[in-house]
Amino acid sequence: MVKTDIAIIGAGTAGMSAAIYAKRAGKDVIMFEGYMPGGQIVVTPEVDNYPALGKVSGYDFAMGLYNQATELGTEMISANVEKVTRKDGGFLIEYDGGEVEAKAVIIATGAKNRKLDVDGEEKLTGFGISYCATCDGAFFKGRTVAVVGGGNTAFEDAEVLASLCSKVYLVHRREGFRAEPEKVAKVRGMKNVEFILNAKVVALKGDGKLEGVILEDTKTGERKELALDGVFVAVGQTPSTDAFAGLVERDKAGYIVAGEDCIAANGIFVAGDCRTKKVRQLVTAAADGSVAALAASEYCSRD
């Protein structure tokens, strides 16, 4: 049986920051990542709000974290963690490929894209529906697309797509935006971007390939059809915490309940976007990683 001091589940900004701090505290660390290290930030075109870094691509930011964590000796396991249970005062982590025993666990699984939840969404994903403008935008060069959402992601997506597509609609269900005003102003100034506000997507049109959407005015209920080649969904995230349902307390939306001390339960720590908190930013994910790692390190050193 492989044993370690701290098992970190999730290798996004929070998880990798935790690994750096735990290694520097002298602990053995195994970090699990299901797909590839980096988390959501890997597909962010540009990070420009991380103090002192200036402008850097999301990919370079993630690779910087990854290199620092692995150079310090973090062991990476590329696998999905299926179950975590308490065992002999520590934890048993079962993943698709084996088992690890750890004295403490840091959950840093982040969040995944929320769906529009309309008929045909699953069927048309990859055939006109996308959740990542940076990944898929190039497939829509010179075409007409819509971005759905009013947060930072939607505005970043609209900016990326405006440089590739002939026309970009930004569809949002109300008039106010969650996105930073600076991002909104930038996109508002783009000639090929048109805002459609107080509107929600109620149906997707197309058989085998997206052809358009039906929009409903949230104030009048009036419906209209909009012909589109692509729809980029940017309506927020839901936390990836189902694997820990019986182990920690979760709120109604699935976020793991913990305060700024990042303590979720005895020996279990939570860092980053999957924790209950108000501000979900790179800098707060990194901060959580350091807090969780130092608390977990102290926990492991107890008699």
Residues forming the active site: 132, 135-136
* Contact range with ligand NAP by CB under 6 A, out of 16-24, 96-104, 137-145, 167-175: 167-175
Q: Tell which one of 236, 265, 294, 299 touches ligand NAP (CB under 6 A).
A: 236
Sheet containing strand 212-217, edge to edge, reads: 199-205, 212-217, 223-227
Closer residue to ligand NAP (CB): 153 or 290: 153
193-196 and 223-227 strand pairing: unpaired
Q: Which of 70, 74, 130, 153 forms a contact with ligand NAP (CB under 6 A)?
A: 153
CA 215 vs CA 118, 125, 207, 208, 231: distances in Å: 12, 18, 18, 20, 12
State in angstroms the smallest separation of the CB of 213 from ligand NAP: 12
Residues 232 and 58: their CA atoms lie apart, in Å, by: 19
* Position of minimal CB gap to ligand NAP: 151
| Residue 237 interacting with ligand NAP (CB under 6 A) | yes
Of 174, 188, 219, 223, the residue at the interface with ligand NAP (CB under 6 A) is 174
Residue among 83 and 188 whose Cβ is closer to ligand NAP: 188
User: Whose Cβ is closer to ligand NAP: residue 143's or residue 173's?
Assistant: 173
Q: Does 202 bind ligand NAP (CB under 6 A)?
A: no
Tokens of 232: 């980029």
Interface pick for ligand NAP out of 235, 247, 256, 258 (rule CB under 6 A)? 235
Q: Is 151 in the site for ligand NAP (CB under 6 A)?
A: yes
Return the residue of 13, 109, 134, 152 that touches ligand NAP, per CB under 6 A: 152
Does position 150 bind ligand NAP by CB under 6 A?
A: yes
Token code pair at residue 135: 């990944």
Compare residues 41 and 296 and give the one whose CB is closer to ligand NAP: 41
- What residues numbered 45-84 form the site for ligand NAP, per CB under 6 A? 49
CB 186 within 8 A of CB 217: no
Please count the CA atoms within 13 angstroms of the CA of 238 that sit on its side-chain side. 10
Can residue 149 be called a binding residue for ligand NAP (CB under 6 A)? yes
User: Segment near ligand NAP (CB under 6 A), from 77-85, 90-98, 151-159, 217-225?
Assistant: 151-159
Verify binding: residue 288, ligand NAP, rule CB under 6 A: no
Residue 123 binds ligand NAP (CB under 6 A): no
- Minimum CB separation of residue 92 from ligand NAP in Å reads 33
- Binding marks (x or -) toward ligand NAP, 97..116, rule CB under 6 A? -----------------x-x
Residues in touch with ligand NAP (CB under 6 A):
49, 114, 116, 148-154, 156, 172-174, 178, 200, 234-237, 280-281
